[in-house]
Structure 1
Amino acid sequence: MGEGRVPFSAPVWAVAITLPDFRGKNQHVNNLEERIAGCFAYSMNGVPPEYGSDEMLALSAYHQWLATGAPMYPDKPIYGRGFPAPDEPAEEPDYARGEAAYQENCSICHQNDGSGHYENGEYVFPAPWGDGSNNWGAGIARVETMAGFIYQNMPLGQPRSLSDQDAWDIAYFISSQERPQDPRYTGDVAETAERFGPTFHNRSLYGQTREHDGHVLGDHDNFGEKGDLKPWNVGMPRFENLSEE
Structure 2
Amino acid sequence: MTTDGKQIRDPSFDGSLTAELVSLIRNKPVAQEDLDAMALFALDGVANMLAGRRSVPGEKLLAYLKGREGDTGRRALVMGGLTHILEVDDLHKASVVHPACVTIPAAIALAQDNMPSGEEFLRAILYGFEACTRVGMAVGKAHYKIWHNTATCGTFGGAMTAATLLRLTDEETVHALGNAGTQSAGLWEFLNTGAMSKHLHAGRGAEAGIVSAQLAQLGFTGPPAILEGPQGLFA
TM-score range, shorter chain: under 0.3
Compute the TM-score of the two structures, normalised by the length of structure 2.
Answer: 0.24
- Name the structure with the higher strand share: 1
Structure with the bigger percentage of helix: 2
Structure with the greater alpha carbon radius of gyration: 1
TM-score (norm 1): 0.24
